[in-house]
Amino acid sequence: MVWIGWLCLAAMIFVYGAANLLQSIAARRTHCCHSLQPSLLLRLANQRIYLFGVVFQVLGFALAFFARRELPLFLVQASVAAGLGVMALLGVLFMRWRLPRAEIGLLALLGAGIGGLVIAARPGVAHHLRPGAFTVLVAVLVAIGVLGFFAARLHGTLGTLALGSLAGLAFGAAAVDSRVLAGAHHLSFVVAHPLLYLLFAHALLGQLLLGLALQRGPTTVAVAAMDAAATAPAAVIGLALLGDQIRPGLVWLAVLGFTCTLGAVLGLTRYARPQETTVAVPSPAAAPALPSGRLAPAPRPGQAAAPAPRQRTAPPARLSSARSSTRNAGSAA
């Protein structure tokens, strides 16, 4: 039933957008980690908003799994990138983000590219992987982990791009795993297949790298870099090895749609601006001074302590006269 795959694809776009937004908020509230430490996931898990984001991401992955059963990998992976537009829309509605015109135009280009891929994609079940492909996927996991160890030391936008791209490669490898497993007709085959556990390893590594990327720069840059790295390699593997197909006569539309999608995602890494929520902090000078002789009340639990009152000082003239009298007394002695 192909219509179930299309329905799962549409729901997946919204769910992934919500997941990216919730996880980015949690990552901003967590102390920045400068190394590839799995303990970051434990610190993030202490926040309820991050757990909600993980639930949405697991739900999105399940929807993508069922969508990959019938739909080509290049379409599903490009549609995951469409969740970036949903995330931006939710940020405008609930987080009061202000998107520049360039970013709005790139999001519109992203939607047009996804539309072209939807028209050009031809549903079909994936082929089995060739011998030795499992070893290659294991080597990809190790390589991403080693590169992530060094990329975690980078800061700013460069660190966001590097870590987001590595997270995308990990999620792209997990998509290849799931595309093969989704074609199975029996649950016992899925449970016993080593690709299932390799899929979990790819997804866990990608989750850790994404959390590090979200701490270093704009959310849109991190997610766009991740989507770009997860879309292109997976699409090539799907067309070359998994039997993904394009409708006859619509190859040009598929190429145009994929180019627009990838170009929009890469453009967002260049023109996206940081979306921060600033909180006004009152200055100590604005606090009312206490009368002399009174003690400031003790702060209540959870309440910030009041600033200490300013000490009254004598005018400059009185200070100079006091100093001169002291000198006279010393000379007289």
Is 320 a member of any domain?
Answer: no
pLDDT computed for residue 218 by the predictor: 78
pLDDT computed for residue 173 by the predictor: 92
Strand partners, 246: 121
Successive 10-residue mean pLDDT values, the chain, 333 residues:
82 89 80 68 81 89 87 86 81 80 85 89 80 88 94 86 92 89 77 89 91 81 83 85 87 91 79 50 44 47 48 46 46 44
Is 118 a member of any domain?
Answer: yes
Structural domain boundaries, residue 25: 2-271
Q: Identify the residue whose tokens are 């598929």.
A: 254
Alpha-carbon gap, residue 178 to 198, rounded angstroms? 10
DSSP state letters, 126-163:
PPPPPTTHHHHHHHHHHHHHHHHHHHTT--HHHHHHHH
Is 245 a member of any domain?
Answer: yes
From residue 194, give the alpha-carbon distance in Å to each of 138, 279, 292: 11, 49, 75
Is 108 in contact with 82 (CB distance < 8 Å)? no
pLDDT computed for residue 15 by the predictor: 92
pLDDT computed for residue 273 by the predictor: 55
Is 319 a member of any domain?
Answer: no
Alpha-carbon gap, residue 168 to 92, rounded angstroms? 25
Is 171 in contact with 226 (CB distance < 8 Å)? yes
Is 289 a member of any domain?
Answer: no
pLDDT computed for residue 282 by the predictor: 44
Is 329 a member of any domain?
Answer: no
User: In this structure, how many other beta carbons lie within 10 angstroms of the beta carbon of residue 46?
Assistant: 11
Counting the structural domains of the chain, the total is 1
Is 199 a member of any domain?
Answer: yes
Is 312 a member of any domain?
Answer: no
Alpha-carbon gap, residue 208 to 166, rounded angstroms? 10
